[in-house]
């Protein structure tokens, strides 16, 4: 049985590929996680952090599948695969930031490898890199979202509003609308338009501190802050979701929850994703109006149709092809 090395530089990258490999018996694997992830939660010796991986053992692998984020670890592993003449490629785990990610590789195309795994072939138009004729791009779906779709929470009652935060200000500052704008405007618009939908839950990104949004709680007894795992224990689906630009949008899409997005940046992949699967807002004024009329807008909006069923099988078939 052949040996595959997998690397994920972010939590989203890990979730993208985890369900595709954990139950397969086609190949042995070692799954390396970036140092800011907790490998212990998997209770599996095949999952280790980058700092604990012996880089000299790269030569023992038959194939490398690594994330497309150009992190320091991504590039170190790519360089080692090249030096050891081992076949490798990368995977794009999201519908967003594709242009920005591609910029990191335009001057070092060899570091991409010989193939690219993407969730949907429609994303090819955003991959503006001069690739060789022999380079292959494969659609593999999204195994984590396949699991969500197969296990829809149809029996849950609906209550309240969920605001999904992202640490956008950490990377963009105030150059685009960020998580503070999202949270403040959501609360202001709900109050101004007298939409009493129930409790308002601010869902933290895993990298955010639990006290980050305390100022929104002080004068708002109906506002709560928690991480996603704690929020999920409530066993309710929100009546309304607001967010910036995150793949979590597909979780609300699958559960047919009215979702209002807020994004005024320039990346076309982000815009297309949000326009296809949410009630899109590119200003606070439009965002406010969308909240005010969310029920009617959602009822009349024709969202793009997409299904993730079959993603594990797609990945399995591509893995067999890559290992032959």
The pLDDT of 257-271, averaged and rounded, is: 95
Q: Could you tell me which residues are beta bridge partners of residue 65?
A: 6, 89
Lowest mean pLDDT among 26-30, 178-182, 216-220, 285-289: 216-220
For residue 206, the model assigns a pLDDT of 85
For residue 12, the model assigns a pLDDT of 86
**Contact present, 200 and 184 (Cβ < 8 Å):** no
Q: Which residues contact 285 (CB under 8 A, 6 or more apart)?
A: none
For residue 50, the model assigns a pLDDT of 97
pLDDT at 220 over 90: no
With pLDDT > 70 as the criterion, what percentage of the chain qualifies? 100
pLDDT at 295 over 90: yes
What is the Cα–Cα distance from 75 to 34, expressed in whole angstroms? Answer: 12
The per-residue pLDDT of the chain, averaged, comes to 93
* Pick from 93, 100, 96, 95: nearest CA to 116: 93
Say whether 144 sits in a helix, a strand or coil: helix
The pTM of the full predicted model, rounded to 2 decimals, is 0.88
pLDDT at 153 over 80: no
Q: How far is CA 73 from the centre of its chain?
A: 19
Q: What pLDDT, in 10s, does the model give residues 165-184?
A: 999 998 888 899 999 999 99
pLDDT at 11 over 90: no
- Residue 64 tokens read as 């490398």
pLDDT at 214 over 80: yes
For residue 155, the model assigns a pLDDT of 80
For residue 171, the model assigns a pLDDT of 84
What is the Cα–Cα distance from 120 to 85, expressed in whole angstroms? Answer: 29
CB neighbours of residue 68 within 10 Å: 26
The pLDDT of 24-36, averaged and rounded, is: 94
Domains in the chain with CATH codes:
3-142+309-323 (3.40.50.2000), 150-300 (3.40.50.2000)
CB neighbours of residue 36 within 10 Å: 12
SS3 content of the chain, % helix, strand, coil (to 5): 40, 20, 40
The pLDDT of 293-317, averaged and rounded, is: 94
For residue 23, the model assigns a pLDDT of 83
Q: What pLDDT, in 10s, does the model give residues 48-100?
A: 999 999 999 999 999 999 999 889 999 999 999 999 999 999 999 999 889 98
For residue 304, the model assigns a pLDDT of 94
pLDDT-derived band of residue 134, with 50, 70 and 90 as boundaries?
A: confident
pLDDT at 111 over 80: yes
Q: Is 204 exposed, middle or buried (0-12, 13-18, 19+ CB in 10 A)?
A: buried
- Torsion (CA) 97, 123, 34, 21 in degrees, nearest 10: 160
pLDDT-derived band of residue 323, with 50, 70 and 90 as boundaries?
A: very high
The pLDDT of 15-41, averaged and rounded, is: 92
């Amino acid at each position: 049985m052949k040996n595959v090395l997998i690397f994920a530089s972010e939590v989203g990258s890990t979730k993208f590929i985890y369900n595709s490999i954990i139950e397969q018996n086609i190949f042995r694997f070692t799954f390396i996680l970036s140092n800011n992830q907790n490998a212990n939660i998997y209770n599996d010796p095949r999952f280790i952090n980058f700092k604990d991986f012996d880089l000299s053992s790269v030569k023992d692998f038959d194939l490398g599948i690594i994330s497309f984020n150009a992190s320091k670890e991504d590039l170190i592993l790519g360089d080692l695969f090249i030096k050891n003449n081992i076949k490798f490629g990368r995977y794009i785990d999201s519908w967003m930031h594709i242009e920005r990610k591609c910029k990191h590789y335009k001057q070092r195309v060899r570091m991409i490898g010989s193939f690219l795994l993407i969730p949907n072939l429609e994303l090819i138009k955003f991959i503006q890199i001069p690739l060789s004729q022999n380079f292959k791009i494969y659609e593999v779906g999204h195994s984590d979202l396949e699991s969500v779709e197969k296990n829809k929470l149809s029996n849950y009652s609906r209550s309240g509003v969920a605001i999904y935060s992202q640490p956008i200000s950490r990377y963009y500052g105030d150059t685009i609308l960020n998580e503070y704008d999202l949270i403040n405007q959501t609360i202001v618009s709900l109050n101004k338009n007298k939409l009493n939908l129930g409790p308002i839950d601010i869902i933290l990104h895993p990298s955010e501190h639990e006290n980050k949004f305390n100022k929104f709680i002080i004068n708002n007894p109906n506002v709560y802050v928690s991480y996603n795992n704690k929020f999920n224990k409530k066993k309710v689906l929100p009546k309304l979701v607001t967010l910036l630009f995150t793949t979590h949008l597909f979780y609300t899409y699958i559960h047919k929850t009215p979702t209002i997005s807020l994004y005024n940046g320039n990346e076309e992949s982000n815009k297309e994703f949000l326009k296809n699967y949410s009630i899109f807002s590119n200003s606070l004024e439009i965002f406010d109006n969308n909240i005010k009329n969310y029920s009617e807008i959602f009822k009349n909006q024709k969202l793009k149709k997409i299904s993730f069923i079959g993603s594990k099988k797609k990945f399995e078939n591509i893995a067999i092809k890559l290992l032959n």
